[in-house]
Amino acid sequence: MLLRPLIRAVTYTRWLHLVIGAIVPFIAGLIYPGLNSPSFGDWLTVAALPIPLMVALALVPSTRRAEGLQARLMLFPGKHARGRDEEADADEAAAGISATPSASWTDRGRTALWLVFRMEAGLVAWLVSVWLLQVTLVLLDTRIEEPVLPFLTPSGPGKVALAPLPLLVLLALVVMAGRLDKRVARRLLGPSVKERMTALEERTERLLERNRIARELHDSLGHALTLAVVQAGAARAAKDPEFTDRALAAIEETGRAALEDLERVLLLLRETGRPRGASPGLDEAARLLESARSSGAQVDAEVTGPVEDLPGPVSREAYRMLQEALTNALRHAGPVPVDVRVTAERSRLRLRVTNPLPPGRPPVAPGTGSGLRGIRERAALLGGEAKTGMKDGTWRVDVTLPLR
């Protein structure tokens, strides 16, 4: 497996990316002090002259973006890479190398360090690479005029058997220099703390949106399907044509409302930019109560206070909570008497739904079921509280939501 890096194209693009950085000091060296028989001091001068230029270039915000895009392209595997390791490496690079302009002085400072590192490391890599090739030629007893590093080039007759050794060292240099370049790029061109926080916030927003959509689908479609099942069963048991017609009409209306909710959620998922229909609010609770009554349940409802003036988020979430509470009552208890109390006070909204359980049917354990969990999650997001469970022989859903 030692030869595996040598057959990867990214190994040589990394080396090329590093060596390209040597162009700037070479251009500076051609101007001053000149590269005619350069000494060790001359090379140090060539390496130091462009540093102020690199620092000044790093002050331009777009420099960081250009370096980040170039690093992503040349330091990490692309479509030419093969194997799972390369794909994982590429995924890590996408998250580890920033390609946005500098937004702070910290970003500019890190960009300046990166430019200086790339220039100096590129110059060293170029000089050592050329020198190793020249050593190979010397060992082959080939005459070389003006070697790039004359003070390090061996003299005298060389041994042909040692000629491959510098080439092996050169290949090892290419691999190691590329890996060093990649690690430094991750450190200096990686996302800043602000960018990491922004990415984390965006990911959190996406997760919250997915959870909200899941709750919307569960509450809306679950309610519609539960009502349809209960109403169809009641119509079949009644064997009354008039009751059957009313049940079918209720199923049709409930199904149409569920399709509207489904279309609204699908538009949200597709992000088409088309206007979405607003979610129903608590002022439309009469539709829920009528659909529950049409299934055979005896719903006694009392609404107190100006529910039409409730804040939009509170009204919409309370509607979904009431919908889920009625769905649970019909699903687990059947057509039983259901008591609904909605009270809109000055500073809070209270919602209570209670129903008895049929004899012999065990109650749902508190905290179980995605519907009950969804009610608690909706209440918590609004800073409220939801309690569910048995009390005084009845199943109770009690929700309190703050209005401020």
Closest CA to 75 of 169, 190, 192: 190
Question: Could you tell me which of 352, 320, 349, 317 has the C-alpha nearest to residue 338?
Answer: 352
- Omega before 363 within 30 of 0, i.e. cis: no
Number of H helices, E strands in the chain: 13, 5
Closest CA to 97 of 121, 61, 73: 73
User: Is pLDDT at 340 greater than 60 in this prediction?
Assistant: yes
Nearest Cα to Cα of residue 63 among 22, 20, 110 = 110
> Which residues 6+ apart lie within 8 Å of 16 measured at CB?
74
| CA angle (299 as vertex; 297, 304 as ends), nearest 5 | 165
Percent of the chain with pLDDT over 90: 19
Question: At which residue do the structure tokens 């049940």 appear?
Answer: 247
Cα(342)–Cα(288) distance, rounded to whole angstroms? 13
SS3 224: helix
SS3 7: helix
Lowest average pLDDT, out of 167-176, 239-248, 322-331, 394-403, goes to 239-248
Each residue's pLDDT tens digit, 221-268? 777 777 777 777 777 777 778 777 777 777 777 777 777 777 766 666
pLDDT tens-place string over residues 341-397: 999 988 899 999 998 877 665 555 544 456 788 888 888 888 889 998 888 778 899
Distances (CA, A) of 115 to 120, 189, 258, 329: 9, 10, 59, 67
